[in-house]
Amino acid sequence: MKLLKLVPDNTNIGFVKLRHWAFGLTLLLTVLAVGATFHKGLNLGVDFVGGLMIEAKFPQAVQTDKVRDTIAGLRVGESSLQQFGDPKTVQIRLPLPEQGGAGAANAVVEKTRKAMEAQFPGVTFSRYDTVSGKVSGELIQNGVLAVVLAIVGIAIFSWFRYEWQFGVSTFVAIVHDVLMTLGFFAITQMEFDLNIIAAVLTIVGYSINDKMVIDDRIRENMRKYRKMDMKSLIDLSVNETLPRTVMTSMTILLALGALLLLGGHVLRGFTAAMMLGIIVGTYSSVYVSSSLLISLGLSPQTAEKKEKKGGIAAQAERMGPRDGAQP
Amino acid sequence: MLNFSRWAVAGILLPLIIGIVCAVPSFLPDSTVAKLPPFMQTRVNLGLDLAGGSHLLLEASTQEMARQRLANMEEQVRTELRRGENKIAIGDISSRDGKLSFMVRNPSEVDGAVERIRPLTQGAGLTGQRDFNVEVVNSSTIVITPTQAGIDNAVKSTMQVATEVIRKRIDEMGTREPTIQQQGGNRIVVQVPGLQDPKALKDLLGQTAKLEFKLVDMSANPSEVAQGRAPVGSEVLPYPTNPAGPPMIAVHRQVMVSGEELTDAQQTYDQQTNEPNVTIRFNGAGGRKFGQVTSQNVNRPFAIILDGKVLSAPDIKEPILGGSATISGSFTVEGANQLAIALRSGKLPVNFIVVEERTVGPGLGADSIRAGLTASIVAVVAVAAFMFVSYGRFGMYANIAVAINVLVILGVMGILGATLTLPGIAGFVLTIGTAVDANVLIYERIREERRRGRNVVQSIEHGYKEASRTIFEANVTHAIAGGIMLALGSGPVKGFAIVLLIGIATSVFTAVTFTRVLVSGWVRRTRPTDIHI
């Protein structure tokens, strides 16, 4: 059997020479993303801002997906459904219209009621009420703080273990990925709910992994080819790891593709965010973090000097699993 | 090195087998699990979003809130007019029909009284909104009426405080990722995962946990107390477990120390009787006050009052200066524990009653769970097939490793009693992604080394060695990120981080060490001169 190879052997693509164009594009997209996030804002879901709660009683047991489809056709926002007590009762949560106060809320309830009665004869709304968000402001602040500090922690690790340039470039690249994801949600106005936070965390995690793999290869090659200039060295490293990059991102996209097609309505935003994040994260490994290393003046010679001085980098290197950790 | 000794292989397989065995109960029905020995009852709990749980609707009485607010106002007015040089004498304050009214003894002081009361009625905001209206009726009677805006604001802030207190209490109980929402004006929805009887939760949320220490009024006439009458400056409170007989006791109105001045509460045991009780620790100011009052009142009894009921009224045997005290009151262990939790998380600003109790389905909707499950199976099969098509035999090894990894993660989560939620599943996906990536890194490296002309054994050894460094690197950074998120985050961030951290530990082991055992076994058996990778 012939095995699948997505990237032919000895591929040599000149990634680095495109970096100025890529920088321009990155900058433009980032500005766009940040601008959109501030200008349009995120379409925060019921989890965050609260909304309407409707309790619907059906004459017989009902499938939640049918209810969800009925409400999705009304354009009153993303609904969140929960079976409530018995299979005949469903609790529907809907976002509140931004303007219009109580009148608008009643209008939404009436619209939903009409559509539901048409679809499920005999359904009654036993009550409706407003509900607050599921998360308090404090919780959101803590979450944001935790993620920011996690990114900073990784940058500091990279800096202490190797050169400061790796710390800075990793930090910038991951922040870029997060901003792009937020921008995507602002521009599409897809609902940003509690689960999207998990998606953003996954994107950060994937992006870290990707950067570490390429950075590690760059460092390996810096030791191997001390006379090579930085641009060729990065091109070499990116090309050497390209089969792995393509393979891994393909694998993950394959898995996410299945979730996107078959995972149902609720997981769609979650999956879309992750797919975008994988693409952005892979892109930023090459064109944000690696390219930034050149701009920040990293070269095999500076690294060599540091190693000779026996700084933290050299110490850390000796502690790594490279020597002697084999069973 | 591709040679593993028998012992090394056993050492690698043993933890994996333990992990897998611990994962098994999570797939069995409840009735089967109950029959297993206790160490086998390790199950992963599913979160509210995936499996549903219990739903409680709590309601605060707005009338009660208004009454309390009016009572506070009454107290403030009394203190204000009694304060300083110019005391203004007033008659009894009546609080009928939701408003306060009282006569000023000397009609010429009415304007002065109004002047002094005004600042108390101002809202907290900068809107200039009044919380109360102050009017003068019949030239000597002052009437204070709460405004609607004032009531609305008060209800809103009370409910916010109450939501936070309830959240703290549920967190202290160790319940993972509950849903706590305000519903309408004066109700709070609490949903917790799991279908067990929510009685403990109801008991915990049903108590206000307003703790007060007051001195017992020894001058009160027992027969008057029995009729509910107390001397001036005292009040009669119910005392259900009074050893002296009547279920009532008269105490001074003045509060010695209150529950707001404590920093910690723990369930403990009485050293002599071994009965469960609660030990509390006061903050600096509370401890000083408690010390002072107890030194001045040695050999007199004081009452420990919880939610308006006297729990016990022991004699002060000696001054209590250590800043801590023990509350006894014929508790059960659970009761004492609940009280400790309630005291730690602060008192509820208003009393709540449970108006509705139900079991609810998964928060994501049963349809989404089903769809998600189907999609996940398809995704796993697709990835496994992709790995096999790309790396052949080695791809299969990676697939076996990933399958074991998933089981071991579930096993470890079961041992830790962790809860799996959708964010946790995201952590799962990331871990599995990086585990697959680890194998991809190794295999691509082996391909690279083969291209450079190394022989089979050398390529495999080199591939594992070089890729291990990268994998180690990537996982250390992951662990740093996960650790910070676990320490600081809450809710979804925490749920994600727990699974991520467990997954990092297990996936390095399965993706690197375990596949190496498989590969080395194969190489030793067949001694291949070329490999298909």
> What CATH number did the domain enclosing A27 receive?
1.20.1640.10
- What integer is the mean pLDDT of A288-315? 69
Q: What's the pLDDT at B337? A: 85
Query: Which strand (E) or helix (H) includes residue B488?
Result: helix B456-488
Q: What's the pLDDT at B501? A: 92
Does one domain contain both B210 and B339? Answer: yes
Residues 137-156 of A with CB under 8 A from B: 138-139, 142-143, 145-147, 149-151, 153-154
Evaluate whether A293 touches A285 at the Cβ level (below 8 Å). no
A195 pLDDT exceeds 90? no
Which residues of chain A does B491 touch, with a Cβ-Cβ cutoff of 8 Å? 135, 139, 143, 194
Does one domain contain both A126 and A143? Answer: no
Cα-to-chain-centroid distance, residue A1: 37
Residue A149 lies in a domain: yes
- CATH number of the domain to which B114 belongs: 3.30.70
Residue B1 lies in a domain: no
Which residues of chain A does B382 touch, with a Cβ-Cβ cutoff of 8 Å? 254-255, 257-258
The Cα–Cα gap between A278 and B200 comes to 44
Q: Which of B359, B382, B440 sits opposite A254 (nearest CB)?
A: B382
Evaluate whether A261 touches A317 at the Cβ level (below 8 Å). no
Q: Which of B360, B372, B389 sits opposite A83 (nearest CB)?
A: B360
Does one domain contain both A115 and A260? Answer: no
Residue A266 C-alpha, separation from nearest chain B C-alpha, in angstroms: 6
Does one domain contain both A141 and A198? Answer: yes
Does one domain contain both A173 and A299? Answer: yes
Strands lying side by side in the sheet with B211-215:
B257-258, B211-215, B302-306, B309-312
Q: Does A208 touch chain B (CB under 8 A)?
A: yes
Q: Position of tokens 């006569």? A: B103
Q: Which of B375, B473, B495 sits opposite A216 (nearest CB)?
A: B473
More confident residue, B182 or A320: B182
CA atoms within 13 Å, Cβ hemisphere of B271: 2
Residue B268 lies in a domain: yes
- What integer is the mean pLDDT of A249-253? 90
- CATH number of the domain to which A92 belongs: 3.30.70.3400
Query: pLDDT tier at A79 (50, 70, 90 boundaries)?
Result: confident
Residues making up chain B, counted from first to last: 533
Q: Position of tokens 């989890």? A: A47
- What integer is the mean pLDDT of A244-251? 90
Does one domain contain both B139 and B223? Answer: no
A/B interface, count of CB pairs below 8 Å: 274
- Residue A111's closest CA among A65, A76, A59? A76
Does one domain contain both B41 and B69? Answer: no
The Cα–Cα gap between A259 and A252 comes to 11
A293 pLDDT exceeds 60? yes
Query: pLDDT tier at A36 (50, 70, 90 boundaries)?
Result: very high
Evaluate whether B303 touches B215 at the Cβ level (below 8 Å). yes
Residue A94 lies in a domain: yes
Residue A177 C-alpha, separation from nearest chain B C-alpha, in angstroms: 16
Residue of chain A whose alpha carbon sits nearest to that of B190? A134
Does one domain contain both B251 and B303? Answer: yes
The Cα–Cα gap between B245 and B150 comes to 45
Residue of chain B whose alpha carbon sits nearest to that of A81? B365
Does one domain contain both B225 and B115? Answer: no
Q: Check A195 against B484: CB less than 8 A apart.
A: no
Q: Which of A153, A248, A254 sits opposite B484 (nearest CB)?
A: A153
Q: What's the pLDDT at A179? A: 93
Does one domain contain both B415 and B355? Answer: no
Containing structural domain, residue A29: 16-41+137-309
Does one domain contain both A91 and A224? Answer: no
Residue A210 lies in a domain: yes
DSSP codes, B75-133? HHHHHHHHSSSS---B-PPB-GGG-EEEEBSSGGGHHHHHHHHHHHHB-SSSS--BSEE
**One pLDDT digit (tens) per residue for chain B, 533 residues:** 567 788 888 888 888 988 888 888 888 887 787 787 777 777 788 888 888 888 899 998 888 888 888 888 888 888 888 877 778 888 888 888 888 888 888 888 888 888 888 888 876 555 567 788 888 888 888 999 888 888 888 888 888 888 888 888 888 877 667 888 888 888 999 988 876 667 878 888 888 888 888 888 888 888 888 888 888 778 888 988 887 777 888 888 888 888 888 888 888 888 888 888 888 888 888 888 888 888 988 888 889 898 888 888 888 888 888 888 888 777 888 888 888 888 888 888 888 888 888 888 888 877 888 888 888 888 889 999 999 999 999 999 999 999 999 999 999 988 887 888 888 888 888 888 889 999 999 999 999 899 888 998 999 999 999 999 889 988 998 899 899 888 887 777 888 888 899 999 899 889 999 999 999 989 888 888 888 77
Q: Check A131 against B533: CB less than 8 A apart.
A: no
- Residue B353's closest CA among B197, B187, B489, B239? B187
The Cα–Cα gap between B293 and B203 comes to 32
- CATH number of the domain to which B28 belongs: 1.20.1640.10
Q: Position of tokens 């080695």? A: B394
- What integer is the mean pLDDT of A221-233? 88
The Cα–Cα gap between A115 and B121 comes to 49
Which residues of chain A does B371 touch, with a Cβ-Cβ cutoff of 8 Å? 65, 262-265, 267
Q: Which of A195, A198, A247 sits opposite B440 (nearest CB)?
A: A247
Of A91, A115, A131, the domain-final residue:
A131
Of B99, B117, B150, the domain-final residue:
B150
Residues 78-97 of A with CB under 8 A from B: 80-85, 91
Q: Check A132 against B163: CB less than 8 A apart.
A: yes
Q: Which of B359, B485, B499 to mutate to test the interface with A (most CBs of A within 10 A)?
A: B485
The Cα–Cα gap between A270 and A190 comes to 10
Does one domain contain both A108 and A223? Answer: no
Does one domain contain both A271 and A244? Answer: yes
Which residues of chain B does A209 touch, with a Cβ-Cβ cutoff of 8 Å? 433-434, 437, 474, 477-478
Task: Calculate helix-pair angle for B422-451, B492-508, nearest 10 degrees.
Answer: 30
Residue A289 C-alpha, separation from nearest chain B C-alpha, in angstroms: 15
Q: Which of B360, B484, B533 to mutate to test the interface with A (most CBs of A within 10 A)?
A: B484
Q: Check B492 against A145: CB less than 8 A apart.
A: no
Dihedral sign from CA coordinates of A162, A167, A168, A170: positive
Which residues of chain B does A212 touch, with a Cβ-Cβ cutoff of 8 Å? 470, 473-474, 477
Does one domain contain both A247 and A265? Answer: yes
Q: What angle do CA A129, A134, A137 make, to 5 degrees?
A: 120
Instruction: Indicate whether this complex's ipTM tops 0.85.
Output: no
Query: pLDDT tier at A320 (50, 70, 90 boundaries)?
Result: very low
Of A71, A106, A131, the domain-final residue:
A131
CA atoms within 13 Å, Cβ hemisphere of B93: 20
Does one domain contain both B204 and B128? Answer: no
Does one domain contain both B250 and B214? Answer: yes
Of A69, A98, A131, the domain-final residue:
A131
Q: What's the pLDDT at B175? A: 66
Q: What's the pLDDT at B123? A: 65
Q: Which of A82, A151, A209 sits opposite B361 (nearest CB)?
A: A82
Q: How many domains does chain B have?
A: 3
Q: How many domains does chain A have?
A: 2
Does one domain contain both A177 and A98? Answer: no
Does one domain contain both B396 and B467? Answer: yes
A321 pLDDT exceeds 60? no
Of B335, B359, B383, the domain-final residue:
B359
Does one domain contain both A34 and A86? Answer: no
Query: pLDDT tier at A318 (50, 70, 90 boundaries)?
Result: very low
Does one domain contain both B351 and B377? Answer: no
Query: pLDDT tier at A325 (50, 70, 90 boundaries)?
Result: very low
Does one domain contain both B69 and B35? Answer: no
Q: Check A262 against B374: CB less than 8 A apart.
A: yes
Residue B532 lies in a domain: no
Residue A110 lies in a domain: yes
Of B150, B185, B200, the domain-final residue:
B150
Q: Check B367 against A264: CB less than 8 A apart.
A: yes
Does one domain contain both A158 and A125? Answer: no
Does one domain contain both A182 and A85? Answer: no
Q: Check B430 against A202: CB less than 8 A apart.
A: yes
Containing structural domain, residue B142: 62-150
